[in-house]
Amino acid sequence: MNISINNSKEILDGEEKPKKVVASELRQDLVSGDWVVIATGRAKRPQDFTAIQRALDEKGVDGCLFEDPVATGQEKDVLIYHKADGDWTLRVFPNKYPAFSPGKSSKASSEGPYNAMSGVGYHEIVVTRDHFRQMALMDVMEVAEVIDAYQDRYLELMNKKNVNYIAIFHNHGKEVGASIPHPHSQIMAIPVVAPYIQLELDGANRYHKSNKHCAFCVMSEFESEHGQRVVFENDDFIAYCPFASRVAFEVHVMPKKHSPYFERITDEQKVKLAEVFSKALGAIYSALNDPPYNFYIHSAPCDGKDYSHFHWHIEILPHTSIWAGFELDTGIEISSIQPEVAAEYLRNNLNH
């Protein structure tokens, strides 16, 4: 079948000229080398992001599996903290439906040109006591206790056989993967180094070889000195919106002093970190009307290699957009607000 298109093209004169559009800006991440688009041409006001609504908890305490983990048949605790009255404040137990399970060794296999290995490892759940008190609403010492639990389990798991990397992450909201609304984090100890971590490790190594400095130290010093992207800081830690933010209101938290390994944090540093981290989460909660978000800790792998060029940090990513064709095709993410504007808005919501 032949299709012939004979439509004529008409060029019109005297039409109203299109309005001038402000050019977007491509920004490159100092460590990974990834590009992001700061789409100033379709920039939103900070207030526009409050329209993003997180799905509400319909079941409440009565239908919660984590309100009383023993009664609902969760796995036996590997760590539990109690108050003076005997009630628990935090507990850690293995996931009933783990992505990685303990085993003697991780076995490699292949199928034609493809490689695989058994998913040997550990998958644990870190649960805080109050069903309705998310981390953004906790006080500094409550957050410090969560950080202490992260460290405790990290130190225990890092010496297990076949564990080369430990992922610590937190999903807040059904939209970003929290199938159970009760506040909880997850810890996965796995036999391989995560690809995104490897990208950061390689980028940090390249920068260090070329500049004789840690890329993360350079960023934290620059942000602290200039201040426009800083959300909150104290003597030991800083929270700021990255220059090349992948999503609107992305925040990174990191120690000011060079440190590759999260697990080496001291008790005093836990409190200092908790202050900055809770301020950042609280600002996001207030500024964006309790949005869904993920955060995760990026620390050097525990595979016995030297990662002195790396610098551990926490990345907080509010769920403010959805990947579409351009992002899926190119891997270049688009943010519709400048990080400088986002940081200012978060600073204005620090104490709300």
Residues contacting 177, CB < 8 A, separation 6+? 171, 294
The Cα 315–Cα 300 span in angstroms is 14
What integer pLDDT is reported at residue 54 of this predicted model? Answer: 63
Position 219 scores a pLDDT of 98
Helices (H) and strands (E) in the chain, counts: 6, 15
In tens, the pLDDT along 265-286 reads 999 999 999 999 999 999 999 9
For the beta carbon of residue 324, count every other beta carbon within 10 angstroms: 9
Strand 333-335 with 35-38, pairing: parallel
Average pLDDT, integer, range 308-333: 83
Sign of the four-CA dihedral 224, 226, 230, 232:
positive
- Residue 98 tokens read as 């783990």
Residues 3-16: pLDDT tens digits?
A: 555 555 555 555 55
Q: What is the pLDDT of residue 74?
A: 95
| 141 φ, ψ (degrees, to nearest 5) | -70, -30
Q: Which residues contact 138 (CB under 8 A, 6 or more apart)?
A: 128, 146, 278
For residue 335, with 0-12 CB atoms within 10 Å meaning exposed, 13-18 middle and 19 or more buried, which class applies? Answer: buried
The reported pLDDT for the residue numbered 7 is 59
Superfamily designation of domain 25-347: HIT-like (3.30.428.10)
Residue 332 pLDDT:
72
Q: Do the beta carbons of residue 81 and residue 91 sit within 8 Å?
A: yes
Distance CA 103, CA 54 (A): 38
User: Is the pLDDT confidence value at 2 over 70?
Assistant: no
CA dihedral over 178, 181, 185, 188, signed as positive or negative: negative
Cβ–Cβ < 8 Å for 167, 194: yes
Per-residue pLDDT tens digits for 47-76:
666 656 666 666 678 889 999 999 999 999
Tokens of 142: 């409550």
Of 207-221, 240-254, 268-282, 322-336, give the lowest mean pLDDT range: 322-336
Q: Which of 151, 149, 148 has the alpha carbon at shortest distance from 261?
A: 151
- Helix/strand/coil for 90: strand
* Per-residue confidence (pLDDT) for residue 5, from 0 to 100: 52
Pick from 44, 43, 40, 37: nearest CA to 23: 40
Strand partners, 333: 36
The reported pTM is 0.89
- Structural domain boundaries in the chain: 25-347
**Three-point CA angle 160, 161, 166, nearest 5°:** 55
Rounded Cα distance between 153 and 128, Å, is 15
Nearest in space to 315 (alpha carbons), one of 340, 301, 298:
298
User: Which tens digit of pLDDT belongs to each residue from 6-44?
Assistant: 555 555 555 555 555 556 899 999 999 999 888 876 656
Phi/psi region, residue 212 (left: phi>0; alpha: psi -120 to 50; beta: rest), is left
CA distance 270 to 143: 9
- Of 107, 91, 87, the closest CA to residue 149 belongs to 91
pLDDT band at 200 (very low <50, low <70, confident <90, very high): very high
